[in-house]
Chains A and B, each alone.
Chain A
């Protein structure tokens, strides 16, 4: 036991005293008094200490709110003799710089195709992409993905947590993603709306995560039938501020798996969320799904707040109080978005080579449009399908290549024109001459039918 005499005396550098006086009452020996002189550096009035009666009780340390305020003196040196530079200088930061711990791949033995729902296929893709942390809130028609995860993850020593809400979900993902884990959620339109704030934080803090949004009819509670009315949200409205994320639009259960695997790769490559947009049909549709030949064993990113010594210096944060610093951060995000636009445009072109009419569609409407192409081609019309797989960035480069020969663009979608808006915006930025644009649209949970597409194309003037 330390004897009283061996305890340290208090020391205080007046520079670090805000003069709050909480120490006055803490001192039982009345050693501390209210100051009278304004400190020339701080403009505050530090307390005055007279240690004549100090019994080294140490209670004043606990009363002082400042880390560098009242504290035990080193040895017996007088605080008056201490140079502030000795307290400062470079911090003796002893945590090592994180070593890279890259992802690795495991070969998968061959297996028969799965016959599963689109949401299941997506969940399977996530597991094979190394995702073992899934958080979610049930919402039709996306819930089966979470249900499958709740079943399989415990068997793989993974984690599934049903959150209290979509708001909590996205913030749990912020934590797990910030910790460097591959995490995801399944949601549907109203739930996705609730997650947007958190997605903005993730983009700001550069946290990767995958959001699978099985779109349903809206606005409001709408219904649970298939729709594509969240394209605007995913491409233009990911919360407040300067936000973008790669938005993938699978068209089949197989692509639900493929796109989800790709989504994880892109999320970690760019340290940014990735959105997989499906429609209610795609989520609920059972189909044939082939498994890949490799699975991912994730590493630990160097930037992760992984709760260990080597990552102790890391920070996940979206605050930047300085305007200049925040502008610089926004510009860095802009550069990242520019890289995505340059490198990540993806599209599937079906009979576009000689097409007079090019249908533009994604998700299940793209399959319906493909059916229409088949029917119209059989009737002798030169019709093709341009299917964006990335809705953001819109695959404008590939579209521009088919434009010179296309006499018409027909956007087929289950929304009031959100895909068409993306296409028109991309065309506008590309500054190219576009042929006449028309559309086949349904809403409210109804997809455009093959008949409607065929009829529309047949009704176009001058179609060959």
Chain B
């Protein structure tokens, strides 16, 4: 009897009645049928039919789900290893098999096979290499031999057509896979060996060892324009010298791939991991700082990357929300990861922030001269500019009416404190002193929370804040 892993009747076939209910869509003599029989046998022998998910992408084997009585997932051209990875990470106990042809795996799907193989997750890939595109009708494959004529290399593979890609060797060159072998089907001996190799590759997944890859040199008699027997001989005589058979990698030393986790759902744990706390911040402000604006105050903090403008902006935002107001913070960075421009727009609103950008801020905190030059003139009439007088000498003379300029040496103060990174907190102290945005306690409590209530860090930050505030007082 046929393997119990094959459906007893191919009901998914378009014409499932009669003959097609028991015949594959493969052409006479096609190697796919042989490989798939071996695969079915291996699934049966290992007793994993219930757990198996077979991923069949585009190519002649796309209809594998007609035949295999397992969970089936049909994938887009070349993407089977990605789909397989989705199945394996979703259900780590499932046995996921990727069955791909050469056009699928070695051409359009190269990125997916290489990245999945390198990940090393226990997945079994069966790669049928027959040196030609079958389903689309005999076009050149990445594994087509040099000089081999195909419908898209009519004079033989040559100029601008590349060279046959040795996939098994390529996959074996990666660190991820534990087992890579190339086998063939052209005679009894090689078929028996191929069968064992496929079973081994599957067993390595069942045992949780790792990613295994079997390349099978397969026959496509129709598109090679050969009788099936001659196609077998062709694989032996022409393909095998280019694609030598054998084990290309075997690092199975008993070690297993790390366990892929299975999710947990616990309310307290989830909230903890998400950083949610029961701590309602203490409120210190008695009312919205209407002396700055009745509804909505906008601030811009601008400097170079590393100045701490974003952190300061975030602290203002947290402080405001802690006080029960609405607040937003939007960062804007230059292309550099460090040292480029770094601007932050902050809004603090009595009820709801509507426009999160700050094109005309009430308050500008400038950490360097270019920021002051660029944004100083955008500060609205009656607004405030607080700048780092350690690094900014000249101030712009094109400010709006009534804009106050307060220079505080953020950098020097921070250096004095032995912690150059707290210059943004010096700036916050100055900001508080000049604007009275929120009470000092609001800021200090927010800072303490931000440093995780670590006493030493809190102390230096508090010093920085106080020095900034004091210096700002003396300069207004």
Contacts and interface: CB of A to CB of B under 8 A. Distances in A.
Contacts of A402: none
A306 B91 contact: yes
A135 B74 contact: no
A374 B294 CA distance: 14
Contacts of B37: 62, 64-65, 67
Contacts of A325: 14
Contacts of A346: none
A387 interface: no
A307 B94 contact: yes
- Residue of A26, A115, A201 ringed by the most chain B CB atoms within 10 A: A115
Contacts of B24: 65-67
A-B CB proximity, top 5 nearest:
A175-B86, A307-B94, A65-B33, A20-B29, A179-B90
A351 interface: no
Nearest to A283: B330
B331 A63 contact: no
Given A68-B23, A312-B50, A370 B1 contact: no
Contacts of B12: 315
B268 A316 contact: no
Interface string B9-42: 1011010001101111011111111101110100
Q: Is the interface of A mostly helix, strand, loop or mixed?
A: mixed
A201 B279 CA distance: 46
Contact of B330 (A163, A281, A321): A281
A112 interface: yes
Q: Is the interface of B mostly helix, strand, loop or mixed?
A: mixed
Interface string B253-264: 000000011111
Given A133-B89, A181-B90, 7 more contacts: A21-B229, A93-B8, A106-B267, A157-B262, A179-B90, A201-B76, A288-B321
Contact of B82 (A172, A177, A281, A321): A172
Given A168-B82, A172-B82, A315 B74 contact: yes
A311 to B, nearest CB: 6
Contacts of A295: 265, 267, 270
A456 interface: no
Interface of B: 1-3, 6-9, 11-12, 14, 18-19, 21-24, 26-34, 36-38, 40, 49-53, 55, 62-63, 65, 67, 69-76, 79, 82-91, 93-96, 111-112, 114-115, 119, 187-188, 191-192, 195, 221, 227-229, 232, 260-271, 273-281, 314, 317-318, 321, 326-331, 352-357, 359
A449 to B, nearest CB: 7
8 contacts: A20-B221, A91-B11, A106-B267, A112-B277, A172-B89, A174-B73, A307-B94, A315-B74
Given A111-B278, A127-B270, A321-B14, A172 B86 contact: yes
A66 B26 CA distance: 9
A128 interface: yes
A168 B23 contact: no
A171 B50 contact: no
A307 B95 contact: yes
Given A68-B22, A307-B52, A374-B354, A287 B328 contact: yes
Interface stretch (A11-19, A48-56, A262-270): A11-19
Contacts of B1: 71-72, 74
Given A111-B271, A168-B115, A62 B192 contact: yes
A41 B17 CA distance: 13
Contacts, number: 347
A176 interface: yes
Contacts of A168: 79, 82, 111-112, 115
Contacts of B8: 87-93
A322 interface: yes
A376 B27 CA distance: 73
A288 B314 CA distance: 12
Contacts of B50: 95, 308-309, 312
A57 to B, nearest CB: 9
Contacts of A216: none
Interface string A76-106: 0000000010011111110100000000001
A107 interface: yes
B91 A308 contact: yes
Contacts of B326: 287-288
Nearest to B331: A284
Contacts of A190: none
A157 B265 CA distance: 9
Contacts of A458: none
- Residue of A25, A84, A133, A177 ringed by the most chain B CB atoms within 10 A: A25
B351 to A, nearest CB: 10
Nearest to B296: A371
Given A152-B274, A374-B354, A314 B72 contact: yes
A284 B343 CA distance: 13
Nearest to A305: B71
Contact of B86 (A41, A114, A135, A312): A135
